[in-house]
Chain A
Amino acid sequence: MTIALVNKPAAERAAPEAVVMRFAGDSGDGIQLTGGQFTLSTALAGNDLATFPDFPAEIRAPQGTTFGVSAFQINFGSTSIDTAGDAPDVLMAMNPAALKVNLPALRLGGLIIADTGAFDERNLEKAGYKENPLEGAALAKYQVVPLDITRLTLEAVKPLGLGNRDALRCKAMWALGLTLWMFDRDRGPLIEYLKTKFGAKGDKLVEANIAALNAGHAYGETAEIGQQVRQLRVPPAEMPPGLYRTVTGGETIALGLVAGSQLAGLPLFLGSYPITPASPILHQLSKLKEYDVTTFQAEDEIAAICSAIGASYAGQLGVTSSSGPGIALKGEALGLAIISELPLVVVNCQRGGPSTGLPTKTEQSDLYQAVYGRNGDAPLVVLASRSPSDCFEVAMEAVRLAVQFMTPVMLLTDGYIANAAEPWRVPDMSAYQPFPTTFFDEVPAEGKINPYLRDPETLKRVWIKPGTAGLTHRIGGIEKSFSTGEISYEPANHQKMTDTRKAKIDGIANHIPEQEVSLGTASGKLAVVGWGSTFGPIQQGVRRARARGADVSHIHIRHLWPLPRNLGTLLRSYERVLVPEMNTGQLKTVLRDQFLIDAKPFNKVSGQPFMIAEIEAAIEQALA
């Protein structure tokens, strides 16, 4: 629950449980950097938090326009935080366009800090304002603090003699300084960060940024900003003991893949082609050469997956990462990996679709593509991570299943998970059981090796590394004989191989955890079933509904294919099943198909995550 932080008598101004703050400005204003720095300071203050970076697809959209607005929202508090928050309590608007785009989200009565220096005629016109909204009654429902941040920043950095352009770039730092004061935060770590990050660009710029930061902070301390902005301290959240850091999904996917390959005892090979929002995985892994990691930026998406398949064929762990459109291009090669029965991890960092769609916005509309999207009967394993910290374990699980069952595994994340940050309780690697890989090297006493020799229990085939004497063999995309591994067009053999490939994937259900209930009871009136990044809003929505006495539980699925073997029974123990998804009802269809249950959809495809209130309303309706 969010609590107002403004305009309350001192006695009532108890420490709020949570605050939602949104920074918004031009995409060139450094909003994402500012948000990231505020996130770090929030984490170091011991709050739980969740962030939502929301930026345009264009690198530098024209200045002052509404489509060039970049925003960063953070929800932080002393209680458990699962989402980036529904409605911001505070909006820092660096220009008229930022105000225009973000005002509809602001909580009624919320606080707007606006840079009046940027509300000039030209910017107002670009944002489509006929008159200045800061004057007059347009913002009467909100608390407005107009501050000439532009002028205050220019004054603060004046002694350093920067050019106007460089000086104006320090505006975001001034705003950050003021924000740090508002929440009683330590400036030390940020000043350290600025020194290391921008040290190379010349001391003057670093000094200017620090000067702006300090000036913003000092302004809060000394200026009369009226009754509206006061210093607040959000007490630390109660979190399980341990060591924490903030992470984004891009980082944890990379770390999980490295950890998984180390547990498997395999070198990791990433073949990838840059695509928003999956590129951070390529960037992260490129830096980790000391962990037996090879990264290859291929000429296209197809070459990326094919190089990974080649590396797996040669005995490494092949990985490829992309987003929806790139995964579509990889479809044929996925079929090759399936029929060749080679391990492969495919990370699909979903974005809005179809086609180019909304490259920087979030969506979970690739479930059909993951489960069904290939020619032929081509089953593979599909997993989904629910949050940045969850990505670490899911990536390790993807590696485990790929290697232990000689199969491609698709790991679904999305743009929200890739870019959002949250505190992560850093695990101890000794807590994880290694799953060392064995390569087959026994030369048969007589006859030839059948490369499709299988483990009778799991049906996984042998993994033979080229270079192994006496075991030369040929594999490929043409159907192979079950008993010899040679090309076979026999009707009965194709039936048997198709059945075997399906049985192998289906059987994985016996080697994954049973489905648990995330919140609530194992039976009852309503189960809200989700997957992926909707975890936060569903969890909070269900929690609030339960607090009001509603009989509702939350089930969140990590293993999407094969589904956990108890899932059907579990779902049937509720009277109703509601499936909120950021698509038009894909998991709903899968659940109906697999279990013949009357799962009801609740869908949103606006490129924005669910709000808690939306889930709450859907629960209410489902229970009515």
Chain B
Amino acid sequence: MNALPQFTPADFASDQEVRWCPGCGDYSILKTVQRTLAQIGARPENTVCVSGIGCSSRFPYYVETYGYHTIHGRAPAIATGVKLANPALDVWIVTGDGDGLSIGGNHMLHLLRRNLDCQVLLFNNEIYGLTKGQYSPTSRSGTRSPSTPFGSVESPISPCGFALGSGARFIARGYDIAQAKLPDLLQRAYQHKGTSFVEIYTNCIVYNDGAFQNFAGKKAVPDALLWLEHGKPILFDKGAKGLRLNRNSLALEVVAVSDGNVEGLDILVHDETSKTMAQLLLDMPFGDFPIALGVIYCNPAPAFETAVIEQNTKAAAGKKRDLNALLRKGDTWSVEADAPPPDA
């Protein structure tokens, strides 16, 4: 990481007019990303933003880097080709709940299990915005929308739970206006080698306004959210509550903490390398429990493109590039110009 950033956040802002609805949560994420790119010392020419289709996927047009706005759901596949072709590029995938988990769910699964080195920013607004408000795979049961006038009867998917199940090695969660915490998450995602999956709750002011107001924004209830920190006791509600494991049910439970004294309460200490703990934190039902935010899981493994290139290099080692020899491989025979046929 460069100590002195060479580029300012303004250098990462393109001259294109941003066309999200006024008040859309995407604006604050855009600002945060531009700020983060400057902070981490990213170079515009080495940065590539790849997106699919949807409101969030317009993102690349607004960042002064290389950008490819592709087709619905396929950004992970395009990004895989980009990174395999040039591993020196820093690849950011920007997607949404519909793009990344509905039409593109299959690609997301395989991106995560392969562990391509890139950042995935999944803007989750729990609704289809660009197509005017239909329910999405993350919409809660009962969501009324133009396509579900009587309420959705489907169960929503948890993006981070999906990522964990797909084999992701870095999972973090934040929300659009968490301006104090989000830059740290993005920096951690950038530093992690492998696929860094970051779910960002985003308020859709037109079709799903207030979906996250319980924990994000002015109306947030203090005990509704929990920012995780590796190696620190899992406390929330300004330290008044903590989480511990019920050894009989093997589930988490909320414990009251008085005067910050955690002694003898068996409060869990967050271990971001523990997949089991990540699973427990992601399984907490919202309402009875707070929503877990921050770096939920980070347990690095070799990146896909590194493994591919290592294998290619090894397979090619000591072999000469000789097309004429390649074409003549195997059983060959000669027909001579002037000699009589072999059988004559």
**A contact residues vs B (CB 8 Å cutoff):** 40, 43-44, 46, 189, 233, 235-236, 238-246, 255, 258-259, 262, 267, 269, 271, 288-294, 296, 298-300, 302-304, 306-316, 318, 332-333, 335-336, 340, 426-430, 448, 465-478, 486-487
| Residues of chain A within 8 A of B344, CB atoms compared | 235
Q: How many residues of B contact A (CB 8 A)?
A: 66
Partner of A336, one of B46, B71, B109: B71
Q: Is the CB of B81 within 8 A of A296?
A: yes
Q: Is the CB of B70 within 8 A of A306?
A: yes
Interface residue? B85 (CB, 8 A): yes
Query: How many Å lie between the Cα of A474 and that of B77 in the bound state?
Result: 18
| Residues of chain B within 8 A of A235, CB atoms compared | 341, 343-344
| Residues of chain B within 8 A of A428, CB atoms compared | 324
| Residues of chain A within 8 A of B46, CB atoms compared | 466-467
Which of B237-245, B285-293, B330-338 contacts the other chain?
B330-338
Q: Is the CB of A258 within 8 A of B326?
A: yes
Q: Is the CB of B315 within 8 A of A289?
A: yes
Q: Is the CB of B335 within 8 A of A241?
A: yes
Q: Is the CB of A46 within 8 A of B335?
A: yes
Partner of B323, one of A244, A259, A308: A259
Q: Is the CB of A314 within 8 A of B69?
A: no
Q: Is the CB of B85 within 8 A of A315?
A: yes
Query: How many Å lie between the Cα of A389 and that of B320 in the bound state?
Result: 25
Query: How many Å lie between the Cα of A40 and that of B88 in the bound state?
Result: 46
With A303-B110, A333-B74 already in contact, 8 other A-B pairs whose C-beta atoms are closer than 8 Å: A236-B343, A271-B81, A296-B84, A302-B74, A303-B107, A307-B81, A310-B78, A313-B82
Q: How far is the CB of B292 from chain A (nearest CB, A)?
A: 29
| Residues of chain B within 8 A of A315, CB atoms compared | 85-86
Q: How far is the CB of A547 from chain B (nearest CB, A)?
A: 24
**A235-B341, A241-B335 known; A306+B324 contact, CB < 8 A:** no
Q: How far is the CB of A375 from chain B (nearest CB, A)?
A: 11
Which of B20-28, B58-66, B124-132, B137-145 contacts the other chain?
B58-66
Partner of A309, one of B66, B81, B313, B328: B81
Query: How many Å lie between the Cα of A291 and that of B69 in the bound state?
Result: 31
Q: Is the CB of A241 within 8 A of B106?
A: no
Interface residue? B248 (CB, 8 A): no
Q: Is the CB of B324 within 8 A of A290?
A: no
Q: How far is the CB of B96 from chain A (nearest CB, A)?
A: 16
Give the residue name and chain of the B residue nearest to A302 (CB): B74
Interface residue? B48 (CB, 8 A): yes
Q: How far is the CB of B6 from chain A (nearest CB, A)?
A: 12
Query: How many Å lie between the Cα of A308 and that of B80 in the bound state?
Result: 9
**A241-B335, A258-B323, A474-B69 known; A269+B48 contact, CB < 8 A:** no
Partner of B48, one of A243, A466, A478: A466
Partner of A302, one of B67, B69, B77, B336: B77
Q: Is the CB of B44 within 8 A of A472?
A: yes
Q: Is the CB of B106 within 8 A of A299?
A: yes
| Residues of chain A within 8 A of B85, CB atoms compared | 267, 269, 294, 310-311, 314-316
Q: Is the CB of B68 within 8 A of A46?
A: no
**A289-B316, A303-B74 known; A255+B327 contact, CB < 8 A:** yes
Query: How many Å lie between the Cα of A318 and that of B85 in the bound state?
Result: 9
Query: How many Å lie between the Cα of A300 and that of B110 in the bound state?
Result: 10
| Residues of chain A within 8 A of B336, CB atoms compared | 241
19 chain-A/chain-B pairs, Cβ below 8 angstroms: A189-B331, A241-B336, A242-B335, A245-B331, A259-B323, A271-B81, A291-B321, A296-B80, A296-B84, A299-B77, A310-B78, A311-B82, A312-B81, A318-B81, A336-B70, A466-B66, A467-B46, A472-B65, A487-B61
